[in-house]
Amino acid sequence: MPSSATDSYADLTPDFVLDALDSVGLRGDGRMLQLNSYENRVFQVFLEDGRAVVAKFYRPGRWSDAQILEEHAFAVELDAAEVPVVPPMDLGGRTLVALEHAGVRHRFAVSERHAGRAPELDDAEVLRWLGRFIGRLHTVGAQRPFAHRRQMDVATFGERPRELLLAGDMIPDAQRPAWQSMCDAALDVVRTAFAAAEGVRLLRLHGDCHPGNLLWRPDEGPHFVDLDDACTGPAVQDLWMLLSGDRAAMGAQMRCLLDGYRAFMPFDVRELALIEALRTLRMIHHSAWIAERWTDPAFPAAFPWFGSAAYWSQQAVQLREQLEAMEEDAIEV
C-alpha cells in the first residue's frame, strides 16, 4: 500500500519525548508510560512539579496542520461550553508544536491526564446519560461547520478505501474477485441509502464514538479525551457504535440514547436507515486503514491475520451479510 518513511516512529525515543516537553516548559522527572494508540504515539509523562500530562505525537503525514488545529479548536469550544472533553493545553499561545528530528517533522500536543473506565452499556440510565452527553456535544457541533476535517461520506470512507485495497497486494488473488464483487454491491446499496437520506443535517461530530473511546467516571459520567477522528456527518454516526445485539436489543438501546439526546438536540429518524450503511463503510475503511499502516511495525504485530486468505474470505462473507442487513427496515424507536 502507499506509504512513506514518515510512517516510522523509531526516532521517538524517551529522551526525545522528554526534550520535546521540556521545550514547552514541561519538565519531566524521567518517568513515562506509553499508552495504547495504534494511530498516534501517546505518552503519559510525570513532571517534576508532581503533575502528570499526556503527550500525543501525531502520525506524520496523516493530518495537515489546519486539520489538527481545527480538532483542537473544537475541543476548546466544547470545553468552554462545559461539555466533558479534555482539551489540548495552551503551550505558550499554541496548542500544536512541531519539531524537526532525524529528518522527520514531529507534531505534538499535550493535555492534562484524565482517567476513567468503560461505560456500562447494558444500563439504561447510562445510555440516557450518554445520549445527553452526545446531544450536548452536537449542540456545539451544529453551531458552525468544519472547514478542513473529513466528511463522513461514501467517497471518503468507501470508494477511496476500496481503490487503495485493490491497488495493493494485501488481498490474495484467490479471494480478490469475491471481495471486490461484494464490496461493489455493498457500496451500491450504501449510495442508495445516502441518497434516500439526502437533506439530513450534517454537523461536527466526534466521528469514532465507540465504547473504547468513551471514558466514564461514576460520579461525573462520560467524557472524551480525544477528538482525533472528528469529522462532518450525520448525528447518528456518533450513536450507532454504542448499539449491540439483535435488532430488538439495538432498538431498545437507541430509544434510551435518544431519550437523553433529544433533551438537547432534535433527531431526524430518517438517519436510522443509515446505521447499516455506516457500519458497511466502517468495515471497508478499517481494512484499508490497516493496509495503509502496514509498514508501521506495530500493525503486523497487532493484526497478524491481516492479508490471509481466511481474513479476506471472512470480509466477503461479512459484506454479504451487510447487504442483507441494509435491505431490512431501519430499527424501530
Please tell me the predicted confidence (pLDDT) of residue 3. 40
24 domain-assigned: yes
Separation CA 193–CA 324 (nearest Å): 13
57/186 same-domain check: no
Q: Average pLDDT, whole number, for the chain? A: 94
Residue 118 lies in a domain: no
Residue 333 placed within a domain? no
Same domain, residue pair 43 and 21 = yes
Phi, psi (5° rounding) for residue 286? -65, -40
> Percent of the chain at pLDDT above 70?
98
Length of the chain: 333
Query: 142 and 285, same structural domain?
Result: yes
Tell whether pTM > 0.75.
Answer: yes
Query: Would you say residue 77 has pLDDT above 70?
Result: yes
Q: Do 285 and 160 belong to one domain?
A: yes
The domain boundary residue, chosen from 83, 112, 141: 112
CA 27 to chain centre: 30
The pLDDT value recorded for residue 11 is: 81
In terms of domains, do 148 and 102 share one?
Answer: no
Question: How many whole angstroms separate alpha carbon 232 and alpha carbon 206?
Answer: 9
CATH number at residue 69: 3.30.200.70
The CATH number given to whatever domain includes residue 141 is 1.10.510.10
- Where in the sequence is the domain holding 101, given as residue range(s)? 5-112
- Give the C-alpha separation, 213 to 11, whole Å: 27
The domain tally of the chain equals: 2
Taking only the tens place, the pLDDT of each residue in 215-262 is 999 889 999 988 999 999 999 999 999 999 999 999 999 999 999 999
Per-residue model confidence (pLDDT) at position 303: 96
- The residues that are catalytic are 208, 226
Question: Residues 193, 299: one domain?
Answer: yes
Same domain, 106 and 139: no
Residue 164 burial (CB count, 10 A):
19
Residues 147 and 100 in one domain: no
